[in-house]
């Protein structure tokens, strides 16, 4: 059984989707935000949690918690992953992003799509490299952008797809690691 760690800074709805799919394979949740919903949700499930504030040597500090972990899933983690984690976990760090990459990398991708007048958006699960939302794409899902959409309604439609494809993509990668 491969062991998974989830990193997140926010509410943790993708963590919940992963937890429902992979259960006790999720061994650890790390957040850079002390009050993040993802930590509270993990604690409720009895999953060990760690708060690591951002700043100097964050990836070095996180590394010390990751012995025995096979795969890292970023789920709304608002910091760039750097060395030594990139080398330690080459091909074993995934991210979910709320756009059809390479369109709209970076923050508030659903807002960028809306402001751009895009007719379609979606989400992408990709491998993490040193760039921001630049790694190789694993899976994508499309959603329409509707004329009446607000930032909230579009993000919500995208998140439904995130919760569907993130577990699928993780399973695909776990199968490759076997
Ligand atoms: C998601 O929209 C994800 O695509 C982005 O951050 C958000 C995290 O949401 N990277 P949640 O904390 O999983 O609910």
pLDDT level of residue 161 (50, 70, 90 thresholds): very high
The answer to whether the CB of 13 is under 6 A from ligand 1 is: yes
How far, in Å, is the centroid of ligand 1 from the Cα of 97?
Answer: 7
The confidence score (pLDDT) of residue 178 equals: 76
Residues 6+ apart with CB under 8 A from 78: 9, 10, 32
Please compute the mean of the pLDDT values over residues 88-114 and round it to a whole number.
97
The answer to whether the CB of 19 is under 6 A from ligand 1 is: no
Distance CA 100, CA 113 (A): 10
The answer to whether the CB of 122 is under 6 A from ligand 1 is: no
Catalytic residues, which ones?
97
- Token pair in block for residue 175: 């199968």
Per CATH, the number for 4-108+124-142+163-177 is: 3.40.50.170
Q: Is the pLDDT reported for residue 80 higher than 80?
A: yes
The confidence score (pLDDT) of residue 137 equals: 98
How far, in Å, is the centroid of ligand 1 from the Cα of 8?
Answer: 8
The confidence score (pLDDT) of residue 37 equals: 98
Q: The pTM is what?
A: 0.97
Residues 6+ apart with CB under 8 A from 82: 58, 59, 130
Tokens 């993802």, residue? 38
**Mean pLDDT across the chain:** 97
Maximum distance among all alpha carbons in the chain? 48
Q: Is the pLDDT reported for residue 96 higher than 90?
A: yes
Of residues 157, 139, 140, the one with CA closest to residue 148: 157
% the chain with pLDDT above 70: 100
- Indicate the DSSP class of residue 128: -
The answer to whether the CB of 11 is under 6 A from ligand 1 is: yes
The confidence score (pLDDT) of residue 136 equals: 98
- Indicate the DSSP class of residue 3: -
pLDDT one-digit tens code per residue, 40-52: 999 999 999 999 9
Strand ranges across the sheet with 137-144? 49-51, 26-31, 4-7, 71-74, 93-97, 120-127, 137-144
Please compute the mean of the pLDDT values over residues 29-33 and round it to a whole number.
98
Distance CA 174, CA 92 (A): 9
Q: Please identify, by atom number, the ligand 1 atom nearest to the C-alpha of residue 9.
A: 12
% the chain with pLDDT above 90: 99
- For the chain, domain boundaries: 4-108+124-142+163-177
pLDDT one-digit tens code per residue, 9-27: 999 999 999 999 999 999 9
Please compute the mean of the pLDDT values over residues 129-141 and round it to a whole number.
96
């Amino acid at each position: 059984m491969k062991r998974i760690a989830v990193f997140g800074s926010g509410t943790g709805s993708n963590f919940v989707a992963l937890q429902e799919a992979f259960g006790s394979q999720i061994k650890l949740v790390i957040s850079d935000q002390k009050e993040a919903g993802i930590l509270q949700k993990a604690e409720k499930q009895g999953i060990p949690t760690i708060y690591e504030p951002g700043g100097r040597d964050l990836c070095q500090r996180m590394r010390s918690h990751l012995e025995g972990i096979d795969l890292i899933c970023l789920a709304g983690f608002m910091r760039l992953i750097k060395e030594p984690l990139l080398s330690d976990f080459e091909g074993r760090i995934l991210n979910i992003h709320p756009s059809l990459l390479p369109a709209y990398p970076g923050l508030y991708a659903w807002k960028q799509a809306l402001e751009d007048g895009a007719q379609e958006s979606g989400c992408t699960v990709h491998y993490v490299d040193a760039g921001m939302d630049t790694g190789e794409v694993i899976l994508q899902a499309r959603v329409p952008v509707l004329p009446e959409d607000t930032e909230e309604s579009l993000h919500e439609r995208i998140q439904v797809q995130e919760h569907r494809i993130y577990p699928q993509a993780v399973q695909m990668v776990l199968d490759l690691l076997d």
